[in-house]
Amino acid sequence: MTDTTHRPVAWSPPPRPEWLARFLEETRAWDAATVAPLDADELITTATRNTGLSDFGPDDWREPFDILVRAIEEEAELHLFGRLWSRQDLLLFLETRLRIEETYRQHPEIEDEVISQPVFVTGLPRSGTSILFELLAQDGQFLAPANWELVLPCPPPEAATYRDDPRVPRAHDLITQMGRVAPTYQAMHEMGAWIPNECGVAFRMSFRSQHLAAGFQVPSYSQWLFAADQKPAYAYYKRLLKLLQWKNPRAHWLLKTPEHQSFLPTLFDIFPDARVIMTHRDPVKAQGSVTNLLGTIYWMRSDKPFDAAAFEQLLTPEGTAARLDQVIEWIETGVVPREQVIHSLYADLVEAPLDALEQLYARMGLRFDDSARAAVAQYLAGKPQGKFGAHRYAVDRDDRTRGLFAAYQRYFNVPQED
């Protein structure tokens, strides 16, 4: 008899690096809340004092900011390093908003910039969105935001100094922090200043981001986020992209994050001429992978045991299946433009990446020329699968779980993985 009760995949934390274990042991008796306060009003005051600025732009960021900070304080159980790290991040997001608004105030002509036919990559987490994004970024006709400019976008990057901008070393240090806090993370997600990063990184500045929900065990914020209107996040992201291309022109942006899949109508509302590439992978396999990823990320900032049940909308097969079925309904009912959504199978990309890309380009109506093919081949040669370590994880394969995804796998012809 098949067990019909979903059981979150078991997860065990990796060992902490010696430097962090030593730090936590040495500071165990400290008053962490006093040393690293996490209070919404105090953070805002500090950000305004640090920058000398006070205009944060449209105030739709304030409610999610308050909910997030309160949830971190009351639910996340951060250790001292986690509190210090989180305080640094929250101040960075606030100060970045202040600097963006000041730049627009001084240069209102930035608003006239046009974001023309951007390409968005989306799909289930761990379904090949990152590698596809990185491969497409090798083609000169696509321009993806480098990690560093999403983290430190002000002053706006300039074409003449883009490759040797003095902010790059600091941004690289901030970006690669995760791999130093949890070395096993490097096998899951390569990071660096020049690697193109996800739209969700930029969404953090609107405080409506699944990246934030994935950084802490904060169920009250996650519940708010899944019910919230994401239009402010997309609108502010467009504002950021205009700023980034103002002095460093881009023909077409190449953008990516898995969470776009849940908000396609909003994406097309803000970017009506966008093309969306959706990756597809056996959801059962992807499910186990994202569980391991999130468990590792939570462990970076907290000793609190990983509670997968607190994140049912993101982690359970029921929640994942509902989101995938919603995508099918949007396509079938015309809520999103069918002709602007292009599909890519993870299995094809892994087995024969160059052939898969050629077929993908054809479906987009673009040419995969010799220079692009050579650039992609060179990139692949320098990044063989498993270069940064094997990403190992358990997978829940019970019959009921498999059945939840049957309609999705039939509709998009997604093969089952062993």
Q: Is 5 within the bounds of a domain?
A: no
> How far apart (Å, rounded) are the C-alpha atoms in residues 247 and 267?
25
Q: Is 6 within the bounds of a domain?
A: no
Q: Is 295 within the bounds of a domain?
A: yes
**104-151 confidence digits (pLDDT tens):** 999 999 999 999 999 999 998 778 888 899 899 999 888 899 999 999
The single-letter DSSP state of residue 146 is B
Instruction: Supply the mean pLDDT for the chain.
Output: 89
**202-232 confidence digits (pLDDT tens):** 999 999 998 999 899 999 999 999 899 999 9
Query: Residue 256 — φ and ψ, nearest 5°?
Result: -160, 140
Count how many domains the chain has.
1
Q: Is 10 within the bounds of a domain?
A: no
Q: Is 305 within the bounds of a domain?
A: yes
CATH of the domain at 209: 3.40.50.300
pTM for this prediction: 0.90
Please report the pLDDT score of residue 395 as a whole number: 46
Q: Is 4 within the bounds of a domain?
A: no
- The letter for the amino acid at 331 is I
Measured CA distances, 225 to 30, 151, 219, 262, 348 (Å): 33, 22, 10, 12, 33
Please calculate the CA angle 259-337-272 and round it to the nearest 5 degrees.
75
Percentage of the chain modeled with pLDDT above 90: 71
- The letter for the amino acid at 94 is L
Domain enclosing residue 258, as ranges: 18-412
pLDDT value at 292 more than 80: no
- The letter for the amino acid at 312 is E
pLDDT value at 97 more than 90: yes
Q: Is 417 within the bounds of a domain?
A: no
> Would you tell me how many other CB atoms lie within 10 Å of the CB of residue 342?
17
Which value, to the nearest 10 degrees, does the dihedral of the CA atoms of residues 211, 119, 231, 131 take?
Answer: -10
Q: Is 3 within the bounds of a domain?
A: no
